[in-house]
Amino acid sequence: MTPRIERRSERSAFFHTPNQFHAVSLSGGKDSTAMLLMMIERGMPIDLVLSADTGMEFPEMYAHLAKVDDYLFRERGLHITTLRHPKGFEYLMFDVPQQKKSAIERRIANGQALTGYGWPGVHVRWCTGQLKTHLISKEVNRLKGEVGALHYVGIAADEAARCKGEQYPLVEWGVTEAEALQYCYDHGFDWNGLYEIYHRCSCWCCPLQRIGELRKLRCHHPELWARLLDMDRRALAQFGPGPLGQFKQNWSVERLDARFAAEDAQISLTSPPQGGV
């Protein structure tokens, strides 16, 4: 179904003074991609497209971002500006020296390594902060201060509660998450099927994803699953069985691997034989 996209009205919030600087955040997901494509289609000004790379995106996501970059360059003569932490996810997880006195004391008391944040958890999402939001907001705040930039963020209309004082075209246009995805598909951006497999397409190594998503990761991206097993073994060896070395509450990646393998074996036992008489 083609999404219902309302034309920009004369009273749109997106009429701004000429020469204003327009910075668009692009995660590469369906909502920010649809926002960018719609802004291009509607002839809205765009001066900068910012993306933060955690280094742990799916290969299909990197291919998608390259495709969006080509399109952006063809349409507007712009390339995506990609921001990266200088050392990346695994350095922060395993090797960054602890700075806080209290953290160092706690690590010593627990007999843990003095480097690395360990696996992120619900209450300690160091990765989102250090690899995404901090990088983007630092740059956006600089642009706001220097050139009064407006910052466009791809939040869909059904997630409007997340809006916090930036520009939200999808909310203004009433574009839902489902419509955003369909719009991308209709314009030839399909992430090579990634959204048909997974509900979420951010870091493949995220311990906050559901077990069902991890089951799919093992099945559809076995090379990434093998990396995840390695990372988890290393985390367990370095931090022990507490929250830092624990991938998920009650589940190491190795235990999940055994569970998924047992489920697969059960399915093949109960499936009727193919072919036959």
Question: Where along the sequence are the contacts to ligand SF4 (CB under 6 A)?
Answer: 54, 120, 125, 127-128, 131-132, 202-203, 206, 208
Cα 97 from Cα 67, distance rounded (Å): 37
Q: Could you tell me which residues are beta bridge partners of residue 41? A: none
**Alpha-carbon distance 277 to 270, whole Å?**
18
User: What angle, 0 to 180 degrees and rounded to 10, lies between the N-to-C axes of helices 222-239 and 211-220?
Assistant: 120
Amino acid at 173: W
Residue count (the chain): 277
Cβ closer to ligand SF4: 14 or 94?
Answer: 94
- CB of residue 159 to ligand SF4, shortest distance in Å: 16
Instruction: Tell me the closest approach of the beta carbon of residue 194 to ligand SF4, in angstroms.
Output: 14
Listed residue (37, 52, 39) closest to 189, CA to CA: 37
Q: Which is nearer to ligand SF4, 35 or 61 (CB)?
A: 61
Residue at 190: amino acid letter: D
Question: Under DSSP, is residue 24 helix (H, G, I), strand (E, B) or coil?
Answer: strand
Q: Least separation, in Å, of the C-beta of 213 and ligand SF4?
A: 11
Question: For residues 128 and 238, which CB has a smaller minimum distance to ligand SF4 in the complex?
Answer: 128
Question: What residue has token string 């060896």?
Answer: 237
The token pair at 250 is 């009650």
Nearer to ligand SF4, 127 or 149 (CB): 127
When the beta carbons of 85 and 218 are compared against ligand SF4, the nearer one is: 85
